[in-house]
Every structure is written in structure tokens, then in C-alpha cells.
Amino acid sequence: MSTHNLLSGFQDFLPESMLARNNLVSVVRGCYEKFGFLPQDTPCLERTELLTGKYGDNEKMIYSFEDHGGRRVSLRYDLTVPLTRFINMYINNIVFPYRRYQVGLSWRADKPGKGRFREFMQMDADIIGDESVLADVEVLTLMASAMEALGVRSTIRFNCRQILDSLVEMCQLDSETSVSLMRSIDKFDKIGQAGVLAELAGIGFSPGIIDKVGDYLKITGTNAEVLQGLTRLLGEAGAFQTGIALLSSITDLLAVQSHSLVDFEIDPTIARGLDYYTGLIFETRFVENPEFGSVCSGGRYDRLLKRPNGEFLPAVGLSIGIDRLLAAMKSVGKAPVFKTTTQVFIANFDEKLSSEYLKLAGELRQAGVAVEIFSKQSKIAKQLDIANKKYIPLVVLVGPDEISLSQVLLKDMRAGVQITVQRDQFVPAVLERLGLNNHPLAV
RNA sequence: GUGCCUAUGGUUUAAUGGUAGAACGGCGGGUUGUGGUCCCGCUAGCCUGGGUUCGAUUCCCAGUAGGCACCCCA
């Protein structure tokens, strides 16, 4: 075992992985921009004080250290909290409601696992300065349209903090016990209703409360049935009216559009979420491989961002975990595989012909074709072998014979055929040949 | 962070108390300007430290790394 080891939870990317990741990013970016979100970026390092106090228990997973000037600095834990600084600094340069997206790495000193890394790429989209339900729905719709663009069947399950608050109120819990209640409820997917209730009993919750939670967990069915069930159980609680009004408006508005690959479900067991969420919360998972957990989650956070005068700026957003998404897509065989982006390989017969190769390459590049010149000297068989291993679809063969005849040999590696074209027909011939297969680079 | 399992060339692996064999890969070759098949050659390895032993890659302990579960999350 050499000392040249990857740190646990960190990843290298060979070109093939990079192309797959880039593809995901560009598909998602396309969706974000279609919804009117604009790109934005912030540094990976922030002052530690900026990040603390916003993630609850998870705070211990922030990578922190002292820089050369003795400042406490931290690698960002997500792309949301650094917004507090960003918004505050540029409040006068931003037109609200502000639709922004950001692609970047985040770091968490977490224990790595399936689809779980210490350095991972997130793609966030947020609407800032907008408290409307329509903004919530836009974010949910954006999520659905991203999953559809990726061609993955998924379920977006949502809930809101007010509903959970109502349950806590009905059970008359203090904030500490409510946290452990939330944790247990959140495990519903894994351990089922009986498991959750047993766990609550183990922790020492009273039978009365366990009954109430049991009734809460029993609420399932269509979105309309869930709303009815919640009303029956929690209708008396103070926060309930706000919560139920929100969920039903969202449901009504979501029903306007249909998504063939995505289902929206109200799920009262969606409890998690970082400390800063205040309203809508949601998670997205694959229908075919839910074991990967949420590949995208988000919600409304109306009390995180502030204007300089202390007034809160309402916001709602989502965060896609690109690396987990890619891992999950691979697991269901939905990740497109890209071997190369190079379209033409120019073989090298003789150093003396270098200027001709440069000319040929220049003409193709001018026409928008991606070209690699084989710049070393090597046997032609070897060069073809290399072109083949690189999955480059077309090889241009020009040696002394072709020069004297003003011809170019074009070899299509996919079909195994070779054609001779006149030198002045070179570029059109290459373009035509490349056009024969719509996706020559996807294997 | 806790529990269980694992650790052999770049990768996947076999065998063994007397230091290891293979496949894939890489490199070269099967004559002169043609790939993806085939044939040949070369390349490179027992995670680290201690212990038991005449002798340890092999057994024991610890460390480290990886996997699975818990926890939490993208």
C-alpha cells in the first residue's frame, strides 16, 4: 500500500467520471436557468463564526482550522449559510426576489458511506426575498423538472414545520424531547411504525404520547386523505391552520402541471432538515433505489437571512447532491457513460508532415470539431490502437502518398470503414461522417 | 463516534509456518502505412508496528485503511 492514498471520503476523477459529472451539472444547470435562476459563487473558506450556530448537532462535522494569520476559518458545510454573509454584503446590488443558483464543493467531516463523501458537489437553487407559496411551488417544480431532465423516476415527499410543531404541541413536549421525537419519526421509513413506537417507549415517552404519535404515523393515502387525517388529529393545535393551509395550497398548485416521472407526496414523517428550516421541507429519492437516501432536499428558511437593519429575508431553496445523485444514477443504470469528447484523431506518419497536420486540425477546429493530433512518432498500428482505446470515432490518415495525390483518408473507427476524400472536400466529409451517428461519443 | 467483517502486483484474485501463482492492465514484439480478435515476452505484490517461532505473507495483539450496521445527511 503506497503512501499516495486518497483521504477517506475524498475522490479523484478520471476523465470518464469527470465527463459524467459535468454532464449532470450541465443538465441541472440548464433546468435552473430555465426557471430564471442566475449563477453566483462564494469562496470555499469562511470565518468559523459565520458557520457556527446554524446546523445544530451537525456543527461538529465542520472542518475548521487556524489560518496563517491566526484566524479561525472553516470549509463551508453547505452553500446556504454562506449566503447570510453574501446577501448582507450585496443587498444593494441585488434585485429581490433574487433567484440564484450555485455549483460548488462542500465539506463535511462525516463518516463516508454509500453515496456519501467528505468533499462533495452541491447544486443549490434559492429564491430569496419571497415569502409566497408560489415560490415554494416553483422550487418543488424545479426539482421535478430536474429529475425529469435526468430521466429518473423519483418521489418528492414534503411536509412542513408547522405540522410537526402541531404534533409537538399536542404532545406537550419541550424542545429537547421534541428533537428525539423528530429523530424517531424520521426513521419511519427504515423501521416502520412499530419500530418508531418501540423506540419512543424505550426512550421513556408516556403511553398517551405514544398513542398520539401512533395515530400520526397511521395517516397515509392520497394527498387529500393525508390532509384530512392531519386535520382530524391536529386540528386544535395553534400552528396547525398555517401548516394545513400551506400544504393544501402547495398541493393545489402542484396539480396544475403533470410530471410523468415524478410523484409529489405529502409525508408527515419527513421531519429532518437543518435547524434553519421554518416552513416547507422536502426530500427527493429514487423510486428504483431509495437506499441511496435523499439526492436532493430543501425547504423554506425565513429566519436565516437578514437585511442590515435586522429584518428577516424570507427564502426557499433546494440542494442537489451531485455526487450522490451520480452514484444513485449509476446504481440504477441511468447514468450516461461518456468516454471522450474528442471527435477526430489525426495520425502522424512523419515529422515532416507536421505543418500539414496542423492545417488539417486548424480547419476542423475552425468548423467546431474537437481534434487531437497524435504528436509523437509511432507506428500507425500503435496509433490506431491508441485512437481506439480513446474511443475517438474518426481517424485522419495522411501520409506522403495522400499528400502527393491531394487526398485524405478518413477512417471511421466505429464502422471499421475507410473512405478517401479529396483534400478540398476534407472538412465537409468529416462533418458528414460525424453526423452519421447522433451520439457518437456516448457508449 | 460505537459494533461486526476484511487487508496479497495499478486492478481483481489463488495458494502457503520455509517470502508467492494467475487474470486484466501497462510496455515491447509477431518485418516495411492500418485498431478493436489471437500468439509470445517483459513489468510489478504479501498495509504498518510489535509478539509467538529456528523461521511469519500465513498464527496472536495493536495501529492504519476499506466494507457493513447504528448515528446523521447531499
- Is the minimum distance from the CB of A325 to strand B below 7 Å? yes
Amino acid at A157: R
Q: Which residues pair with A105 in a beta bridge?
A: A121
What value, to the nearest 5°, has the Cα angle with vertex A277 and ends A271 and A282? 50
CA distance A229 to A248: 13
| Beta strand ranges found along A98-170 (DSSP E) | 98-107, 119-128, 154-160
Q: What's the complex ipTM?
A: 0.80
Cα separation, A10 vs A157, in Å, equals 30
Instruction: Beginning with the edge strand found earlier in the chain, give each strand of the sheet holding A119-128 in spatial order.
Output: A38-39, A98-107, A119-128, A315-321, A296-300, A280-286, A154-160, A262-266
Nucleic strand B under 7 Å from the C-beta of A100: no
- In the structure, how far is the CA atom of residue A331 from the C1' atom of nucleotide B61, in angstroms? 39
Range 368-397, chain A: CB under 7 Å to any strand B atom: 379-382, 384-385, 388-389, 397
| Contact call for residues A183 and A196 (beta carbons, < 8 A) | no
Amino acid identity for residue A118 in this structure: R
pLDDT (0 to 100) of residue A203:
81
Calculate the angstrom distance between C1' of B2 and CA of A227. Answer: 40
Give me the pLDDT at residue A441, please. Answer: 42
Q: Which nucleotide is nearest to A415 (CA to C1')?
A: B36
Q: Whose C1' is closest to the CA of A56: which nucleotide?
A: B72
Cα–Cα distance, A384 to A411 (Å, whole number): 10
Which pLDDT does position A2 carry in this prediction? 41
- From the CA of A1 to the C1' of B14: give the distance in Å: 20
List protein-proximal bases of chain B (any atom < 7 A from a CB): 1-2, 9-10, 26, 28-29, 33-36, 47, 65-74
What domains can be seen in chain A, in order of their start residue? Answer: 15-331 (3.30.930.10), 344-434 (3.40.50.800)
Average pLDDT across each block of 10 residues of chain A; the chain has 443 residues. List them in order: 64 84 94 96 93 80 88 92 92 95 91 81 95 96 95 92 89 81 83 84 85 89 92 86 93 92 92 78 87 86 90 94 86 83 94 94 96 91 92 94 95 91 96 70 39
Instruction: Please tell me the predicted confidence (pLDDT) of residue A4.
Output: 58
Q: Using only C-alpha atoms, what is the Rg of chain A?
A: 28
How far is Cα A225 from Cα A222, in angstroms, rounded to an integer? 5
CA A152 to C1' B26, whole Å = 38
- Write out the three cell numbers for A181: 421525537
Residue A114 CA distance to nucleotide B17 C1' (Å): 39
Backbone angles phi, psi at A154, to 5 degrees: -150, 165
